[in-house]
Structure formats: structure tokens, C-alpha cells
């Protein structure tokens, strides 16, 4: 059967290359210039300097308008930039957020061509009915309601836009060329443009393959098979192709269609709770999550009981995953927040890939300290009263004002959380985000196992009181031992005779030896100090083991063993 779709001719390719390159060059240059100016000011300790927000907004409005004309990858680029709080300030991000809702649909003739090419059959032999108007349109494809000719089942048919692979390849080449130009002539250490390109390229190629999306959907179906509160549509295996996907049609109400939800009598608070719980289950328990939770992809399934709305998820092209190593670093971040340890948080962020090699770590630690101080002494009960949108704004400001670079998986996770906060609090203004998150976070941190009877509030309160000392102890001990050994720390013992000090001075010879002896208070003084270090390390290790913080527990116990060995050798 002859193909219905035609490739893009050479002249059109050249015109598009120049149009895309010009758009990207100007947009990325302005983004880089404004952020670089802010970062330089932050390094000098000047926190008053702000980006020229009006210039950024003008550039991004122009980008959005041109992207809608060029379509496909430029729309996806705008959506990708809208997740990058490390590249754009909050008001600028809002300019691009509407791209999700403004994507125009392709003509019906194009849709017919793609479907018939995919199945090598006329459209009416596959579907007895196929609606001409799309029910949803996105940057890479659109959805039409249809009826299968073989079974009479109502289905959703997801169809790729025409020439999608050719357009993606062309526009990625343009993006690569623009980044090469910028990095050739400008110091781009403030923004990892090549990392940005690699992440964007990877996510686009994953999303453009409908076979991968079908596998994602089937994995989610398995994940929630025993959860009656969540519904995942069935994928029709015999109709899976790289360019067309057929799945179960879901009748329902979009999660942001508040008048319809009210008219149907659904419990809005319960709908918000079930949606957020489903996401925390994905984040904390499974480590595999739906990365595009805008309201068009989340429905209340028709026929659900009013007091027990069933939440249906759609569109599984964009997903994220959290590995074991990432989970370990996340635990360190949680602990650093609890103990107000900016150094630990900076180390965890660096390990996760948020901080580049040449970043000013001192400046970053200072900024994180300011943020942690803002929320220090806030109890878990008080956290329930915090406005999560305000907290998210503080985090966005931190990301933009420091040399952070958000890896793609975390950009998607951040956008997912941000969208969830907005959707859930708008759906049910009295919805408590923190209260729903607490049990998942407790299990994630390992505080809910092993028979401990303490509640999360009690554990967090205790950690707030002693955790800061325990986590910072290894660095404090290291500094203490260094000072003792180098004579920088002066310890005066009350009844130590002067003659004793003079004998040690003459034995070891010279002023340096005398200073070291006097500074350390003699071998006995150093041993006493190390003995206290041994007791503190041992007590810390035992305590941390009791509250199931195993990594810092073994560290403290190991430190106690090393100090004990040192004391034995001194004898």
C-alpha cells in the first residue's frame, strides 16, 4: 500500500533550519546572559540583583508564538524549558506553561495517512467509526475517539504527527548547532548546555516511540492492579505500533473541571487525596512515576461512587525513575533538612548531579543555609499549616540564584510535584499536602519499621534536638583532633605542675614541641579529649541505630573504633 505521508523537501528543510536556529540562538543567549549576571552577583554576596524579567518574558512570548507555528520539537522544547527552574525564574516559567494547552491539531487527512500507513489497511477496515475532531492534541501527537471494527469497542487512538522523526532529527541538529556556536565563543560554565541537550534528546526519543509508551502503560497497569482507587486504561496489544497506539476509551471528568465535578457530586477532597497518594506511591515506594500530571491527563472516572471517586491516569509517554543510589541521596537530603546541615545537603545535591564541578560550593552552602534557617524550628504540626506553593517558590528562587543544573529526571519530578500541589490545592483548598506525604516519607526514611513505637512527630522532634550534633560530629571530631595534634587548641589542666611542662619541652626540643605540648595539655590531655570523642561517637552510633538511620550509625561506630584504637596505641 502506498504511503500517504510525504517527506520534507530540501528547500523547506533549509528554511526550517535557519528559523529554528535563529529562535534558539536568541532565546538561549538571553536565558544564559540573565542567569550569568545573577550568579556572578550571588558569588559576590549581592542578593539584591535580579534578572531582567521583562526582557526574559518578551523573549519567551516570542519563542512561544514561533514555536506554535513551527510545531513538534519547538513546542516540546518550550515545555521542557518550563520545567527548568534552574534556567528561568518563576514568572518566566509561567509564560511557557500554557504551551501544553495551545497546541493545534493536525488535519484529519494527515491523521488518516498515518493510521493507514501504520496498519497497511484503509481506515474503515480498522475502525467502524472514527471522529474527525481530535479530543486532545499535544506536541508529538493527538487523540481521536473511535470504534474498533472487529469488536465494536470504543477506543482512544493516539496518532503521531506526520514526519515526526524527520522533524525531530532536523530540530535536534539545529539545537546542537546553536549550542556549539554559543559554547565556542562564550564561557557557559553557569549553564551546562551540552547536558541540557543530551537530556532533552533522550527524553524526546523516548516519548516519540509509542511502543515504549505502551510498555510504560502496561507497567502502570501492573503497579495499580490491586488498588481500586486508581484506574489505568487497557492497551490493545494487537494495535501497538511506533506511530499509532490504541487504548481503552475512558469517560470521565478532568480533574480541573470543577463545575462538572460539583454537578456530579464527587468528593473533591477525596479526589485530591487519592491523586496525590498515587503519586507518592510512585515516588517513594516504586521509584517509577508518571511525569506529566497536568489536568488533561487525570480524570475522575465516570460511574465512580460520589464519596469514592476513581482516578484514571492517561498518557504514559513521559515517565521518570528513581534508582537506589538516588533514593540513598534523597535520604541524606531529608536528614540534612531535619538537622539543618547545609554541608550534607550540598554533598547530596552534588552526588545527584545538581551541582557542577566548577561551582562555588561556599556560595551554594551559604544560600542553602539561609533557606534551611527560614524553616528551622518548624514542627511537623506547623508544617501542615505551611502553604506548599510558598515553599515551592522558595525552592525555585534557590535553584535559579545558584549554579544548579537540574537533571532531566528531577526536572520532571519537580514539575510533577509542582503540578500536583497546584491541582490538589485548587481542587480542594483544605487539602493537606504534608499530612498525606508523611507516612510515605516515614517509610522512605526507614522510620516506620523494626517495631519502633515512636510516631513520626516524636522521631523528628528528637532528631531536631540531637540530630544536628550527631550528623556534624565526624567533621567536628576531625577538626578537634587536627587542632589537638597541631597545638592549635589550648587545654589547661588545673593542677599540672610547670616543671612537668618544662621537662616535656626539653625532651621534645624547641619551641614548636613546647607549643604542641602546652596546646595539647600533654599526652594525658589529648587522651582525655579523645576519650570524650570516643564516648560521643559510641553514644551517637547506638542512638542512630535505634532510630534506624543505619549509614550514619555505622559511621559513628566506626569512628568510635578508630578513636579507641588510637587511644590504645598512645599507651
Q: How far apart are CA 129 and CA 245, in angstroms?
A: 16
Provide φ and ψ at 199, rounded to 5°: -65, -45
Provide φ and ψ at 311, rounded to 5°: -95, 125
What cell was used for 90?
A: 518563576
Provide φ and ψ at 404, rounded to 5°: -90, 150
SS3 content of the chain, % helix, strand, coil (to 5): 65, 10, 30
Task: Return the H-helix or E-strand segment holding 417.
Answer: helix 408-427
Q: How far apart are CA 333 and CA 346, in angstroms?
A: 9
Q: What's the burial of 473, exposed, middle or buried (CB within 10 Å: 0-12/13-18/19+)?
A: buried
Question: Of 419, 402, 457, 409, nearest to 435 (Cα)?
Answer: 457
Question: Of 79, 25, 22, nearest to 193 (Cα)?
Answer: 25
| Crossing angle of the two packed helices 73-81 and 10-43, in degrees rounded to 10 | 10
Q: How far apart are CA 190 and CA 405, in angstroms?
A: 9
String of DSSP letters for 281-333: IIIIIISEEES---GGGEEEETT--TTSPPEEE---SSEEE--HHHHHHHHHH
Q: How far apart are CA 377 and CA 394, in angstroms?
A: 17
Residues 6+ positions from 197 with CB-CB distance below 8 Å: 175, 176, 179
Residues annotated as catalytic are 292
Whether the CB-CB separation of 157 and 115 falls below 8 Å is answered with yes
Angle at 293 between CA 289 and CA 297, to 5 degrees: 115
Whether the CB-CB separation of 131 and 145 falls below 8 Å is answered with yes
Q: How far apart are CA 405 and CA 411, in angstroms?
A: 9
List residues bridging with 289 in a β-sheet: 320
Q: How far apart are CA 457 and CA 460, in angstroms?
A: 5
Amino acid at each position: 500500500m502506498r504511503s500517504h505521508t510525504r517527506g520534507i523537501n530540501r528547500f523547506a528543510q533549509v528554511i526550517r533550519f535557519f528559523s529554528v536556529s535563529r529562535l534558539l540562538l536568541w532565546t538561549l543567549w538571553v536565558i544564559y546572559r540573565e542567569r550569568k549576571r545573577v550568579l556572578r552577583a550571588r558569588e559576590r554576596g549581592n542578593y539584591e540583583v535580579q534578572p531582567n524579567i521583562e526582557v526574559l518574558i518578551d523573549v519567551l512570548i516570542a519563542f512561544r508564538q514561533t514555536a506554535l507555528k513551527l510545531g513538534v520539537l519547538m513546542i516540546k522544547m518550550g515545555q521542557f524549558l518550563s520545567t527548568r527552574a534552574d534556567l528561568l525564574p518563576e514568572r518566566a516559567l509561567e509564560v511557557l506553561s500554557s504551551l501544553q494547552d495551545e497546541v493545534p491539531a493536525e488535519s484529519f487527512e494527515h491523521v488518516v495517512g498515518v493510521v493507514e500507513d501504520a496498519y497497511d489497511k484503509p481506515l474503515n477496515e480498522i475502525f467502524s467509526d472514527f471522529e474527525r475532531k481530535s479530543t486532545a492534541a499535544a506536541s508529538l501527537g493527538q487523540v481521536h475517539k473511535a470504534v474498533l471494527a472487529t469488536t465494536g469497542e470504543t477506543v482512544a487512538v493516539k496518532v503521531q504527527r506526520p514526519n515526526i522523526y524527520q522533524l525531530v532529527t532536523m530540530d535536534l541538529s539545529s539545537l546542537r548547532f546553536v549550542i556549539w556556536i554559543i559554547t565556542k565563543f562564550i564561557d557557559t560554565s553557569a549553564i551546562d548546555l551540552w547536558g541540557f541537550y543530551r537530556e532533552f534528546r533522550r527524553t524526546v526519543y523516548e516519548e516519540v516511540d509509542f511502543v515504549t509508551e505502551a510498555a510504560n502503560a502496561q507497567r502502570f497497569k501492573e503497579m495499580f492492579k490491586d488498588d481500586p482507587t486508581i484506574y489505568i486504561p487497557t492497551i490493545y496489544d494487537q494495535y501497538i505500533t511506533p506511530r499509532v497506539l490504541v487504548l481503552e476509551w475512558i469517560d470521565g471528568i478532568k480533574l480541573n473541571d470543577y463545575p462538572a465535578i460539583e454537578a456530579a457530586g464527587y468528593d473533591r477532597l477525596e479526589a485530591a487525596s487519592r491523586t496525590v497518594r498515587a503519586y507518592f506511591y510512585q515516588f517513594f515506594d516504586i521509584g517509577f512515576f508518571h511525569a506529566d500530571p497536568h489536568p488533561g491527563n487525570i480524570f475522575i472516572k465516570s460511574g465512580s461512587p460520589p464519596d469514592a471517586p476513581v482516578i484514571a491516569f492517561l498518557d504514559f509517554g513521559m515517565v521518570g525513575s528513581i534508582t537506589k543510589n538516588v533514593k540513598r541521596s534523597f535520604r541524606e537530603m531529608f536528614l540534612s533538612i531535619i538537622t539543618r546541615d547545609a554541608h550534607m545537603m550540598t554533598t547530596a545535591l552534588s552526588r545527584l548531579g545538581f551541582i557542577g564541578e566548577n561551582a562555588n560550593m561556599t556560595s551554594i552552602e551559604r544560600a542553602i543555609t539561609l533557606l534551611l534557617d527560614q524553616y528551622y524550628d518548624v514542627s511537623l504540626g506547623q508544617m501542615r499549616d505551611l502553604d506548599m506553593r510558598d515553599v515551592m517558590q522558595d525552592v525555585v528562587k534557590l535553584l535559579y540564584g545558584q549554579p544548579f543544573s537540574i537533571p532531566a529526571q528531577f526536572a520532571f519530578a519537580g514539575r510533577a510535584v509542582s503540578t500536583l500541589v497546584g491541582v490538589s490545592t485548587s481542587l480542594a483548598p483544605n487539602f493537606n499536602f504534608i499530612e498525606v506525604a508523611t507516612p510515605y516519607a516515614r517509610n522512605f526514611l526507614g522510620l516506620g519499621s523494626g517495631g519502633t513505637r515512636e510516631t513520626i512527630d516524636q522521631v523528628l522532634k528528637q532528631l531536631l534536638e540531637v540530630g544536628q550534633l550527631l550528623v556534624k560530629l565526624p567533621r567536628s571530631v576531625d577538626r578537634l583532633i587536627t587542632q589537638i595534634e597541631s597545638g592549635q587548641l589550648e587545654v589547661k589542666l588545673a593542677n599540672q605542675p610547670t616543671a612537668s611542662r618544662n621537662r616535656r619541652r626539653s625532651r621534645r626540643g624547641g619551641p614548636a614541641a613546647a607549643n604542641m605540648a602546652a596546646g595539647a595539655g600533654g599526652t594525658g590531655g589529648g587522651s582525655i579529649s579523645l576519650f570524650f570523642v570516643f564516648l560521643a561517637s559510641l553514644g551517637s552510633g547506638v542512638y542512630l541505630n535505634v532510630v534506624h538511620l543505619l549509614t550514619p550509625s555505622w559511621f559513628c561506630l566506626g569512628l568510635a573504633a578508630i578513636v579507641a584504637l588510637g587511644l590504645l596505641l598512645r599507651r
